[in-house]
Amino acid sequence: MAKVTGTGRPIFAAEGGNALLTCVTHNLGDNTVMWKFGGQKLLTAGTNRVVADKRFQVLHDVGGDVYVLAITNVTANDSGTYVCEINTVPPSRSFHKLKGTRAS
């Protein structure tokens, strides 16, 4: 059965910097990995960005098990919970917390 795992640790990124959120898949098969913000807003499907905001992209090696959500130019509004989800029934999810911090 397909499933995902994540680090479980919060990620801190300075405002204006970059953030990398890592999702590892197991037995993905024909299923699709999706990244969501707040559990609702769909950001990516597979390696395709589905939001207009070009700061978001997925880093993935073909045939690999790792899907990294890369966010450039992080803002305070990017802080929150990101969900890596596989479209299985029921969905398999891992949760990733991002905290944008002010650069000193």
Express each pLDDT in 6-43 by its tens digit.
Answer: 767 889 999 999 999 999 999 999 999 999 998 789 99
> Taking the CA atoms of the chain, what radius of gyration do you get in angstroms?
13
* CATH of region 3-101: 2.60.40.10
Please give the average per-residue pLDDT across 44-64, as a whole number.
96
Helix %, strand %, coil % of the chain (to 5): 5, 55, 45
Cα separation, 100 vs 25, whole angstroms: 26
Q: Are the C-beta atoms of residues 33 and 42 closer than 8 Å to each other?
A: no
pLDDT attached to residue 4: 85
Residues contacting 7, CB < 8 A, separation 6+: 22, 96
Indicate the burial class of 53 (C-beta count within 10 angstroms; 0-12, 13-18, 19 or more): exposed
pLDDT attached to residue 7: 64
Q: What is the DSSP letter of 52?
A: S
